[in-house]
Amino acid sequence: MDEDLLPLTALLQQRGLRHRIYEDHGRQVIKVGSEDAAQLVRDTYRAWRSGELSIQLSRPTTLAPRASFLGWQIAPMTLVLIAFSVGGFLLLLLNAPLTWLALFTFTPFSVEQGQVVFGEVNQQYWRLITPAFLHFGWLHIVFNCLWLWELGARIERQMGSLNMAGLFLVIALVSNSVQYIFGGPGIFGGMSGVVYGLLGFAWVGAAVQPEWVFKPARPIMLFMVGWLVICLVGVVEVLGFGAVANAAHVGGLLTGAVLGAVFGVASRTGAAD
C-alpha cells in the first residue's frame, strides 16, 4: 500500500505515543505497546482520513543542520567506541612497536627467536575487553565502525549512554572470552563480536518490548546472519581474507539476544507496574 503515513506518525510522535511502522504482506502496519494505544491510533487515523482532523507538516529550514548535528550528539558512547576502534587500528597501520600491541591483546605475547610466545592474563583484567578495539585491515575497521554506528546509535538513543556502555562491556567480555576458550591463545581482535551482540539485542529486545523502535530491518538481519554463516563454513578464509573469530561472533550474538530478552521483559514488567 502506497499511503503516506508520515503526517500520522509525526502527530503520534508529537503526542508522545511510541510506535513503529513496518510493511507486512504489502500492508503498512503501525505497532504500539498496548490495546489502549492501538485504539487511540485507530481513532486518530479515522479522524484524519475523514477530514475531522487536519495535520500540517512544516518543512525544516535553518534548523536542519542543527538537528543533524544533534543526531551525533545523542549517541556519544557509540562515537567513543568508534574512536577507540580507530585508535586500535592505527597501532597496526602506523607500525607501532609490538610491545604496544601486546598491551591490548587477550593474552600478552612476545616474539622470541622468531616465535610468538604467549603469557598469562593474570590480573590484567582490561585484556578481557580491549581486543574489541584491535583491527587488522581497512575492510575490518570500516565494516565494524559502520555497523557499530548503525546498530549502536539506535540502541543508545533509546536506552541511554550508560546502558550502551554496559551492553558493550558485557558483550565484549563474553565474546572475547568465548573466542579464547574455543580458539586458545592467539592474536585476535575486532568489534565484530560486539556488533553481532548489538544485532541480537536489537532483534530480540524489540520483539519482546514493542515500544523499542530499533529493531533491525529484515534485509539487515538476513545479510548479517548470512555473513555469519559464510564465515562459519570457512569461505572467507578460503578466499584469502584471513582468519575470522567465529566464536566471538556467535558468542556475541547469543549474549546480545539474552540481554535483549532480559531487558525487554524488565521494561515491560516495569511499565505494567
- Confirm whether 67 is domain-assigned: no
| Residues 129 and 232 placed together within one structural domain of the fold | yes
Is 192 among the catalytic positions? yes
DSSP characters over 82-133: HHHHHHHHHHHHTT--HHHHTTTSSS-EEEETTEEEE---TT-GGGGTGGGG
Work out whether the CA dihedral 265, 166, 76, 100 comes out positive or negative: negative
Q: What is the pLDDT of residue 163?
A: 94
Q: Any idea what DSSP says for residue 21?
A: E
CATH number, position 218: 1.20.1540.10
Can you give the pLDDT at residue 149? Answer: 95
Q: Which residues contact 127 (CB under 8 A, 6 or more apart)?
A: 104, 105, 106, 107, 108, 121
Which residue, chain included where needed, has cell 505497546? Answer: 33
Torsion of CA 6, 11, 17, 19, to 10 degrees: -10
Q: Are residues 33 and 92 in the same domain?
A: no
Q: What is the CATH number of the domain that holds 41?
A: 3.30.70
Whether residue 174 is found in the same domain as residue 238: yes
- Whether 89 and 158 map to the same domain: the answer is yes
- Does any domain span residue 208? yes
In terms of domains, do 94 and 224 share one? yes
41 assigned to some structural domain: yes
The domain of 24 spans: 6-50
Same domain, 38 and 151: no
Q: Is residue 81 located within the same domain as residue 43? A: no
| Selected catalytic residue, list 85, 135, 140, 192 | 192
Catalytic: which of 19, 135, 140, 249?
249
- Is residue 147 in some structural domain? yes
Mark whether 24 and 144 lie in a shared domain.
Answer: no
Residue 194's pLDDT is what? 96
Q: Let me know if residue 1 belongs to a domain.
A: no
Asked about 140 being catalytic, the answer comes back as no
Q: What angle do CA 93, 96, 102 make, to 5 degrees?
A: 110
- 99 and 220 together in one domain: yes
Asked if residue 64 is part of any domain, the answer here is no
pLDDT in tens, the chain (273 residues): 567 777 777 777 777 677 777 666 667 778 777 777 778 878 777 877 777 677 766 654 444 444 444 445 578 999 999 999 999 999 888 888 888 888 899 998 888 877 888 888 888 999 999 999 999 888 889 999 999 999 999 999 989 999 999 999 999 999 999 999 988 888 888 999 999 999 999 999 999 998 888 888 888 889 998 888 887 887 666 555 556 778 899 999 999 999 999 999 998 887 555
Residue 69 belongs to a domain: no
For residue 110, give the C-alpha cell: 612476545
Query: Is the Cβ–Cβ distance between 58 and 10 less than 8 Å?
Result: no
Q: What gap in Å lies between CA 128 and CA 115, rounded to an integer?
A: 24
- Name the percent of the chain in helix, strand, coil, to the closest 5: 65, 5, 30
Looking at the fold, whether 109 and 182 belong to one and the same domain comes out as: yes
Q: How far apart are the two ends of the chain, measured CA to CA in Å? A: 38
Q: Which residue has the cell 575487553?
A: 129
Residues 42 and 100 grouped into a single domain: no
Domain-located, residue 178: yes
Cβ(134)–Cβ(105) below 8 Å: yes
User: What confidence score (pLDDT) does residue 229 get?
Assistant: 87
Number of domain units in the chain: 2
Q: Which helix (H) or strand (E) holds 139?
A: helix 138-147
Helix axes 192-208, 161-183, angle to 10 degrees: 120
Q: 179 is written with which cell numbers?
A: 573466542
Q: If you search the block for the grid coordinates 500500500, which residue do you land on?
A: 1
Q: Are residues 151 and 43 in the same domain?
A: no
